[in-house]
Structure 1
């Protein structure tokens, strides 16, 4: 695990004149880090920047670098658009000017429907993409990518949103992006995912003034795959690591062992306890693998045990299935397996963050660091053990 740097800047500039986009970034940075964000309308000396990159990432980096070189403060920029598989990834970086004139949503949608008129439903898959780039004065780059999968509808539906929203039908759902409420769109959109990934990356790399967040990495069931486990632990800058068992290797050789709470699973033969209590972030954690409590069929026995030890948060594994829910004033977290998922499509791990206002945030990722749409924010009042 790498050490965090101190964040020394009191503001960030967004390389955009879009006021709606500015408000989104202002809310993100103020809420998470107490940092002010200003747009290009609030600064002098920055002209128009030609977006001539071949990828969303290239455009985002170019915009952020161009402004950072002028202002010498951190600058964030985005580039986003739609990629359609049947069109070889088009409109891609030309999404805003697909029909010729920049920002003509109606013309862009008409052209897209024309290009797709002979494409059958099964082949109309598409993805909304948002690339974010943050450039620091020393040249350090942080680049993340958020994606929202779906397919192109046969006709526009919905009146909310903008751009291709009326034609973009969400994966696994029969609604378009334009049929969602603004609040729901803000939770699942490609930009929302990219902004969450950027906030997570900043927390991994930097220590912010007044930030009392405790970040806990929760993993389970790597079954001897040490490289996968090590890569996850190296990437995450966590105050503590909880391993819920079935590591299937030498426990003392586990990475970051000195800052890890680990329990024995049903496939482990190390002299490690089957249950542990760890206290941190103002909460009492009960850690177990779960096989002794029949968690694959019910959480009832585990709930009783949590009450016995006055646990606020229970971390368990065994099922290889990610799970997060509150029961009886206690939060139950299963991070899933980092190598062998069951009941879910990808391997996962969880990051738990505690704040100073009784809120606990649970975020799930793949071992590659991609955001997984699970978890949430839970209001949790710490118990007092008798």
Structure 2
């Protein structure tokens, strides 16, 4: 073989290598699913490097793969912080997974048997905890998947809706960071959706209210709802054409009734301001989703006089909205049974979210059936 022939063969070999499918460097059989191929449910953002930033509580995406292992590459913008994902494997919930700011290693999802497997990954924490960026998922014959076509329920609310302060199984109440006890997957909204085999999104912020927050005058939910990450200072607005819910559930009021931290001046609850702000917010939601059924929920954390006052206010809100939109479906109301919550800082626990979900499932089932009939 002469030198010229050797050179041609080497060039041809290099050309063939450059045409080969790109694989992850981990193993030769693994395929790479880039973040841009994922199909998330909930609020998200594709950043400048085309990573998928998971923003809202329980925003989730799915994929299937062959074999006994998948590797998920995730990061957070705060090098000194941490956040949490959680996942479901072949229809069974697994666990929360900590994403540390300094970690460069992938999250390894191991399965006991080889074969075709399905994984759904959820953000365990809320938008204000910060985004989790997904770069890619690596596994054999990996494919992004969508959930089956089904109605969507959007759950709007506060810390209860987010699943905050409910799960001290890994970090005890009163220790660690606030988001260490978040478990959005086990919150009442996702549990209702799973019971009814429908899809869901969560739009929630801890401490937020309709006209005032837990310990401040704002920004309230009406002021941040249109922002992708529910941050008033953010100029990025959410694209409401991304999904169209059949039902929008709104659960605000707990924080409007709060007495705050006892240090900052807190005026008595103003029913007129609450009703006015809430009515305006429902109108905003109806402008985004004209065909959606609106449902207003009370608070499981309010009892006695406050519980009665909130119920009267929600009834007044319903009457005003129904009068303004006589051709639309009437606003639906659900008043929670009283509950003495036993989770962190008086929030419902994982088990108590199950009680709330059981109470709500027939309510939402009827609303969805009525939507189908119409």
Question: TM-score surpassing 0.5?
Answer: no
TM, length-normalised to structure 1: 0.27
Of structures 1 and 2, the one with the larger relative CO (CA 8 A, separation 6+) is 2
TM, length-normalised to structure 2: 0.27
